[in-house]
Chain A
Amino acid sequence: EAGVAQSPRYKIIEKRQSVAFWCNPISGHATLYWYQQILGQGPKLLIQFQNNGVVDDSQLPKDRFSAERLKGVDSTLKIQPAKLEDSAVYLCASSGRLGYEQYFGPGTRLTVT
């Protein structure tokens, strides 16, 4: 079975620009997560979707970050405008019936200059 796909793998932008990341979860997985991993830290949840509804977005900086999961499959995470402190790896994960088992994608490394 195919794993979680993410693109792009790397992105470099200047501050105040916008950027979007894409995630395709494992087929049939209802739950999708976006985590932010700053260098030297563990991943931190930004937003969690159950099908196409938001379960938890309490840690999402809503003034600049947005995310959607249309039709309960693919998801897009957007940052507009980006700040220097947004430099991080953005990880997407999904889980199926066994909700405690999350499968991670390869991540997108964002550098904001």
Chain B
Amino acid sequence: AQTVTQSQPEMSVQEAETVTLSCTYDTSESNYYLFWYKQPPSRQMILVIRQEAYKQQNATENRFSVNFQKAAKSFSLKISDSQLGDTAMYFCAFSYTGTASKLTFGTGTRLQVTL
């Protein structure tokens, strides 16, 4: 079974600075999806970014980018130009490919953006 590990329970960054959240995972599959989800205090889980394992190019969505290292089974999230609205819990998640596969989540990293 796959596992997802987030070793940073809490992080803090100043507004406009850059922060990197770490995630490692374990699987025997060669093709899969990796995700970063954001969960603000309101609890609504929102997809931030997705990476397909067969793609070598790192995914980017505006201020959010990932560093996907398949051999090392590492999947970090970089947030550039941090904003107060980025304050939230961030979860790394894994799913198999194929139709409608469940998500396996890490334990999350609480990010606080300060002035």
Contacts and interface: CB of A to CB of B under 8 A. Distances in A.
B100 A43 contact: no
Interface in A61-113: 89, 91, 93, 95, 99-102, 104-107, 109
Contacts, number: 58
A31 B105 contact: no
Chain A: interface size category: 20 to 34
Contacts of A30: 100
Contacts of B47: 101-102
A44 B105 contact: yes
B100 A42 contact: no
Nearest to A42: B105
Nearest to B96: A100
Contacts of B33: 100
A48 interface: yes
Interface string B74-112: 000000000000000001010101111111111110000
Contacts of A14: none
A42 B101 contact: no
Nearest to B42: A106
Interface of A: 30-31, 33, 35, 40-45, 48, 50, 55-56, 89, 91, 93, 95, 99-102, 104-107, 109
Interface of B: 4, 33, 42-47, 50, 91, 93, 95, 97-108
